[in-house]
Structure 1
Amino acid sequence: MSSIRPSVRTFLLSTALVLLCATGASAAGLGVGTVNADGLRLRAEASTDASILATANSGTHTVVLEDTGDGWYKVSLNGIEGYMSGEYLDVADEGDADLGQGKVESGGSTLNVRSGPGTSYDRLGSLNDGAVVDITGVDSGWYKISFNGSTGYVSGDYLAPCTDSGSTSASSALGQQIVDYAMQYLGTPYVWGGNGPNSFDCSGFTKYVYNHFGYNINRRASHQLQNGVAVDRSELQAGDLVFFYNGKDSTPVSHVGIYIGDGDFIHASSNSYTVEISSLYAPNYDQKYVYARRII
Structure 2
Amino acid sequence: MILPAKLMRTALLTVAVSAICVVGASAASVGAGTVNTDALRLREEASTSSTILATASKGDTVVVLEDAGNGWYKVDYKSVEGYMSADYVTVATKADVTIGYGLVKTGGSTLNVRSGPGTSYSKVTSLNNGAVVTIVGIDNGWYKIKTSGGTVGYVSSDYMVTCKDSAGSRGDGTVAASVSSSNSLGQQVVDYAKQFLGVPYVYGGNGPNSFDCSGFTTYVYRHFGYTLNRTATGQLSNGVSVSKSELQPGDLVFFKDGGSKPVSHVGIYIGNGQFIHASTSTYEVRINDLNSGYYNNVYVYARRIL
Shorter-chain TM-score range? 0.7 to 0.9
Correspondences of 1:123-138 after superposition (within 5 Å): 123-138=123-138
Alignment match of 2:263 (pick from 245, 248, 253): 253
Match of 1:25 in 2: 27
RMSD: 2.8
- SS of residue matched to 1:98: coil
Match of 2:202 in 1: 190
- SS of residue matched to 1:284: helix
Distance 1:68 1:273, change over 3 A: same
Contact 1:64 1:73 in 2 (8 A): yes
Provide the rounded CA distance (Å) in 1 between the counterparts of 2:108 and 2:139: 25
Provide the rounded CA distance (Å) in 2 between the counterparts of 1:171 and 1:40: 17
Letter in 2 for 1:223: G
Q: Deviations over 1:140-177 (max 9, x none)?
A: 11111125632222212221112235695543443233
Letter in 1 for 2:202: Y
- SS of residue matched to 1:68: strand
Alignment match of 1:208 (pick from 208, 219, 232): 219
Provide the rounded CA distance (Å) in 2 between the counterparts of 1:194 and 1:144: 45
Distance 1:179 1:149, change over 3 A: closer
Provide the rounded CA distance (Å) in 2 between the counterparts of 1:59 and 1:198: 23
Q: Deviations over 1:221-258 (max 9, x none)?
A: 23322322333323433321101123431x43232111
Letter in 2 for 1:218: N
| Structure 1 residue 223 corresponds to structure 2 residue 234 | yes
Q: Deviations over 1:21-79 (max 9, x none)?
A: 6353336xx11112223333222222233222223333322211112222221111221
| Structure 1 residue 112 corresponds to structure 2 residue 116 | no
Unpaired segments of 5 or more residues in structure 1? 1-17
Normalised TM-score (structure 2): 0.77
TM-superposed CA distance for 1:96, in Å, is 1.0
Distance 1:133 1:245, change over 3 A: same
Match of 2:10 in 1: none
Distance 1:122 1:229, change over 3 A: same
Farther-moved stretch of structure 1 (170-179 vs 266-275): 266-275
How many residues matched? 275
Contact 2:25 2:79 in 1 (8 A): no
Provide the rounded CA distance (Å) in 2 between the counterparts of 1:213 and 1:114: 40
TM-superposed CA distance for 1:19, in Å, is 5.5
Match of 2:278 in 1: 268
- SS of residue matched to 2:130: coil
Structure 1 residue ranges (4+ consecutive) displaced by more than 6 angstroms after TM superposition: none
- SS of residue matched to 2:64: strand
Normalised TM-score (structure 1): 0.79
| Structure 1 residue 279 corresponds to structure 2 residue 297 | no
Correspondences of 1:35-74 after superposition (within 5 Å): 35-74=35-74
Letter in 1 for 2:225: G
TM-superposed CA distance for 1:198, in Å, is 5.4
Provide the rounded CA distance (Å) in 1 between the counterparts of 2:288 and 2:25: 40
Provide the rounded CA distance (Å) in 2 between the counterparts of 1:229 and 1:54: 19
TM-superposed CA distance for 1:259, in Å, is 2.0
Contact 1:24 1:105 in 2 (8 A): no
Distance 1:239 1:186, change over 3 A: farther
Structure number with higher relative contact order (C-alpha < 8 Å, ≥ 6 residues apart) = 1
Provide the rounded CA distance (Å) in 1 between the counterparts of 2:126 and 2:284: 56
Unpaired segments of 5 or more residues in structure 2? 1-19, 170-174
Provide the rounded CA distance (Å) in 2 between the counterparts of 1:278 and 1:99: 32
Alignment match of 1:244 (pick from 240, 247, 255): 255
Farther-moved stretch of structure 1 (179-188 vs 132-141): 179-188
Provide the rounded CA distance (Å) in 1 between the counterparts of 2:99 and 2:126: 21
| Structure 1 residue 160 corresponds to structure 2 residue 161 | yes
Farther-moved stretch of structure 1 (35-44 vs 93-102): 35-44
Q: Deviations over 1:86-119 (max 9, x none)?
A: 2222101111111112222223333222222112
